[in-house]
Amino acid sequence: MLNAVLAGFVLAFAAPQVARHLPRQAGTIAALLPAGIFVWLLNQAEMALGPGVVERWPWSPLPGVTLSFHLDGLSLLMALIISGVGALILIYAGAYMQGQAQAGRLYALLLAFMASMLGLVLADNLIALFIFWELTSITSFLLIGWHYQEERSRAAALQALIVTGGGGLALLAGLVLIGLVSGTWEIAGLAAQAGTLQDSGLYLPILLLLWLGAASKSAQFPFHFWLPGAMVAPTPVSAYLHSATMVKAGVYLLARLSPALGGTQEWSLLFMVTGLVTLLLGGWLSLKQDDMKRMLAYSTVSSLGLLVTLLGLGTKLAAEAAALYLLAHALFKGALFMVAGAIDHASGTRDLRRLRGLAGALPTGALAAGLAGLSMAGIPLLAGFAAKEFIYEAALFSGGSVWLLTLLLLAGNVAFVVVAQQMTLRIFSGASLRFEHFHAPGVGLWAGPLVLGALGLALGLLPEVTATLAGAAARAIYGAPVTIHLFVLPDSVTPMLLLSALTIVAGILLYRRRTKLEPWLNWLDQGARLGPENAFRRLVGGLPRFAERVTDMQQNGRLRSYVMWVVGAWLLLLALTWLLRGGPGVPSDLLARLADLRFHELVLVVVILAGLASVMQANTLLTLIVSLGVVGFGTAIVFILFGAPDLAMTQFSIETLGVILFVLVLYRLPGMVRLSPRRTVLRDSVVTGLAGAVVTLMILVITDVPLVSPLKTWFADASEPLGHGHNVVNVILVDFRGFDTMGEITVLGIAAIGIFALLKLRPGRGGESKAGDGEGRT
Residues in the chain: 778
Pseudo-torsion of CA 38, 43, 46, 49, nearest 10°? -20
CB of 472 to other proteins, least distance (A): 29
| Cis, bond preceding 222 (omega within 30 deg of 0) | yes
Among positions 254-273, residues that touch other proteins (CB under 8 A) are none
Nearer to other proteins, 51 or 767 (CB): 767
Residue 147 is classified by DSSP as S
The residue (of 429 and 688) whose beta carbon lies closer to other proteins is 688
SS3 361: coil
| Residue (489 or 682) nearer to other proteins, CB | 682
Nearer to other proteins, 431 or 566 (CB): 566
Shortest spacing between CB 516 and other proteins, in angstroms: 42
Q: Residue 430: left (phi > 0), alpha (psi -120 to 50), or beta?
A: left
| Residues from 68 through 97 that contact other proteins (CB under 8 A) | none
Q: Which helix (H) or strand (E) holds 274?
A: helix 265-286
Query: What are the residues whose beta carbons fall under 8 Å from the beta carbon of 342, sequence distance 6 or more?
Result: 362, 365, 441, 445, 446, 449
Binding to other proteins by CB under 8 A, coded x per residue (else -) over 731-760, reads xxxxxxxxxxxxxxxxxxxxxxxxxxxxxx
The DSSP line for 387-399 is HHHHHHHHHHTS-
Q: Is 593 in the site for other proteins (CB under 8 A)?
A: yes
**Residue 771 interacts with other proteins (CB under 8 A): yes or no:** yes
Q: What is the DSSP string of 158-170?
A: HHHHHHHHHHHHH
Distance, in Å, from the CA atom of 66 to the CA atom of 681, rounded to the nearest integer, reads: 62
Q: Which of residues 617-656 bind other proteins (CB under 8 A)?
A: 618, 621, 624, 628, 631-632, 635, 638-639, 641-647, 649-651, 653-654
Closest to 464 measured CA to CA, from 443, 448, 440, 488: 488
Write the DSSP assignment of 582-614 as a string of letters. ------S-HHHHHHT--HHHHHHHHHHHHHHHH
Which of 444-452, 498-506, 529-537, 574-582 is the region at the interface with other proteins (rule: CB under 8 A)? 574-582
Q: Residue from 578, 603, 622, 682 that binds other proteins (CB under 8 A)?
A: 578
Report how far residue 613's alpha carbon sits from residue 601's, in angstroms, rounded to the nearest whole number.
18
DSSP secondary structure letter of residue 291: B
Task: Give the nearer residue to other proteins in terms of CB position, either 351 or 720.
Answer: 720
Instruction: Answer for the pair 40, 290: CB distance below 8 angstroms, yes or no.
Output: no
Three-state DSSP class for residue 706: coil
Work out whether 776 is an interface residue with other proteins (CB under 8 A). Answer: yes
> For residues 205-234, which are near other proteins according to CB under 8 A?
205
Least CB distance to other proteins at residue 527 (A): 28
Can you tell me which of 54, 379, 458, 701 binds other proteins, judged by CB under 8 A? 701
Among 353, 669, 677, 678, binds other proteins (CB under 8 A): 669
Q: In angstroms, how far is the first alpha carbon of the chain from the final one?
A: 45
- 700 belongs to the binding site for other proteins (CB under 8 A): yes
Q: Is 684 in the site for other proteins (CB under 8 A)?
A: yes
C-beta of 522 vs 620, nearer to other proteins: 620
Which DSSP string do the residues of 646-698 spell out, in sequence order?
HHHHHHHHHHHHHHHHHHHHHTTSPPPP--S-HHHHHHHHHHHHHHHHHHHHH
| For helices 126-144 and 103-122, angle between their N-to-C axes, nearest 10 degrees | 160
Return the residue of 10, 47, 517, 564 that touches other proteins, per CB under 8 A: 564
Least CB distance to other proteins at residue 33 (A): 21
Whichever of 144 and 323 has its CB closer to other proteins, that residue is 144
Near other proteins by CB under 8 A: residue from 43, 556, 603, 682: 556
Contact with other proteins (CB under 8 A): which of 353, 670, 677, 678? 670
Residues 703-732 touching other proteins, rule: CB under 8 A, are: 703-712, 714-721, 723-732
43 binds other proteins (CB under 8 A): no
Contacts to other proteins from residues 509-548, by CB under 8 A: 540, 543-544, 546-548
Closest contact distance (angstroms) between CB of 468 and other proteins is 35
* Of the candidate residues 557, 677, 678, 679, the single one contacting other proteins (CB under 8 A): 557
Number of other residues whose CB lies within 10 A of the CB of residue 523: 10
By CB under 8 A, the residues from 460 to 499 that bind other proteins are: none
Q: Which residues of 179-193 are buried (b: 16+ CB within 10 A; e: fewer)?
A: bebbebbbbeebbeb
Backbone angles phi, psi at 155, to 5 degrees: -65, -45
Name which of 167, 774, 97 is nearest 441 in CA terms. Answer: 97
Side-chain half-sphere of 457: how many Cα atoms within 13 Å?
14
Stretch in the footprint of other proteins (CB under 8 A) among 257-265, 394-402, 457-465, 613-621: 613-621
Task: Determine which residue in the list 325, 560, 603, 630 makes contact with other proteins, applying CB under 8 A.
Answer: 560
Candidate residues 404, 488, 616, 682; the one interacting with other proteins per rule CB under 8 A: 616
3-state secondary structure 466-477: HHHHHHHHHHHH
Closer Cβ to other proteins, 332 or 633, answer by number: 633
Contacts to other proteins from residues 142-201, by CB under 8 A = 145, 148-149, 151, 154, 157-158, 161-162, 165-166, 169-170, 172-173, 176-177, 179-180
Rounded Cα–Cα distance for residues 485 and 496 (Å): 15
Shortest reach from residue 300's CB to other proteins, in Å: 25
Q: CA 350, CA 342: separation in Å to the nearest integer?
A: 10
Among 552, 603, 622, 682, binds other proteins (CB under 8 A): 552
Using rule CB under 8 A, residue 696 touches other proteins: yes
Binding region for other proteins (CB under 8 A) out of 31-39, 332-340, 524-532, 679-687: 679-687
Q: Distance (Å, rounded) from C-alpha 319 to C-alpha 74?
A: 11
Cβ atoms of residues 284 and 524 within 8 Å: yes
Stretch that binds other proteins, among 317-325, 378-386, 428-436, 763-771 (CB under 8 A): 763-771
- We find the least distance from the C-beta atom of residue 556 to other proteins, in angstroms, to be 7
CB nearer to other proteins: give 432 or 623: 623
430 makes contact with other proteins (CB under 8 A): no
In the complex, least distance from residue 6 CB atom to other proteins, rounded to whole angstroms:
11
Return the number of other C-beta atoms located less than 10 Å from residue 111's C-beta: 26
Minimum CB separation of residue 538 from other proteins in Å reads: 15
* CA nearest neighbour of 368 among 454, 427, 435: 454
Q: Angle, to 10 degrees, between the axis of helix 383-396 and the axis of helix 402-421? A: 160
Residues 717 and 114: their CA atoms lie apart, in Å, by 76
Which part of the chain contacts other proteins (CB under 8 A), choosing from 413-421, 479-487, 491-499, 599-607? 599-607
- Binding footprint of other proteins, residue count (CB under 8 A): 206
- Minimum CB distance to other proteins, residue 641 (Å): 7
Residue 65 touching other proteins (CB under 8 A)? yes
Q: How far is the CB of 94 from other proteins (least distance, A)?
A: 20
Q: How many whole angstroms separate alpha carbon 211 and alpha carbon 208?
A: 5
Provide the mask over 96-135, with x wherever binding to other proteins is found by CB under 8 A and - wherever it is not: ---------x---------------------x--xx--xx
Closest among 380, 362, 377 to 457, alpha carbons compared: 380
